[in-house]
Amino acid sequence: MKIYTYPKSRSLRVLWTLEEIGAPYESVKVDLFNPTSCIKSPHSRGKVPFLSDGDVSIEETLAICIYICEKYSSTTFYPAEPKLRSTINSWLSYALTDLESPVWNLLKQQVFIPENQRNSGLIDYAKSEANRAVNQIRLNKGYEWITGSNFTLADIFVTHTLLWAKLCGIAINSEIKDYMDRAMSRPTYLKAQERNNR
Ligand SMILES: N[C@@H](CCC(=O)N[C@@H](CS)C(=O)NCC(=O)O)C(=O)O
């Protein structure tokens, strides 16, 4: 299984999933912003992550992670049991819509768009929406992870998006900060981060 990656990008979510599951993989660092580079992502729009596994090629981070979970049939990380899976899917959807949408817009405005093209109205709006989404996240009493006592795929998407929010200057309360710290001190995260940023 080959994963196309770029430092500090969403490819970290895929590598983290692979590390949690303990699946073998090869990572290929793409030179995303160098048009003359010969190391390109096979993604139809040149993006990362991209997965290639024999005759299987997949774009989109969540689709890649689900493929990995299904291929290696993880029992607690992404269980097949419909009730458990629906709770995880709800959090995945929240992470990718309500949370990631404002955070990604903010990140683009603060980091990727040249300063003279930034839109202060859009920044203010994205900030307030990101704040709202971050503050809507609650850990149920007694839960170590977002869906209960097991670390799941949802924790990868929620914590990585919260990390982006934090980088954009969004305030994170102490309970959620502790939760992020727990997730990001897992050896699987540290290994994935090291591979992704290589
Ligand atoms: N919806 C896609 C987004 C992929 C994406 O935008 N990846 C960024 C890195 S995090 C990228 O490759 N950017 C380069 C570009 O847009 O050309 C996913 O979730 O995989």
Q: What is the pLDDT of residues 130-167, one digit of tens each?
A: 999 999 999 999 999 999 999 999 999 999 999 999 99
Q: Which pTM does this prediction carry?
A: 0.97
CB of 50 closer than 8 Å to CB of 6 = no
Q: State the burial class of residue 133 (Cβ atoms within 10 Å of its Cβ: 0-12, 13-18, 19+).
A: buried
Q: Classify burial at 142, counting beta carbons within 10 Å of its beta carbon; exposed 0-12, middle 13-18, buried 19 or more.
A: exposed
Q: Which domains does the chain have, with CATH numbers?
A: 2-76+191-197 (3.40.30.10), 82-186 (1.20.1050.10)
CA 62 to chain centre: 8
pLDDT digits (tens, 9 = 90+) for 21-56: 999 999 999 999 888 888 999 999 999 999 999 999
Q: Give distance in angstroms: CA of 101 to centre of ligand 1.
A: 13
Q: Is the CB of 7 under 6 A from ligand 1?
A: no
Tokens standing for residue 89: 């899917």
- Atom of ligand 1 at shortest distance to CA of 10? 10
Tokens of 117: 């093209």
Query: Which ligand 1 atom minimizes the distance to the CA of 59?
Result: 20
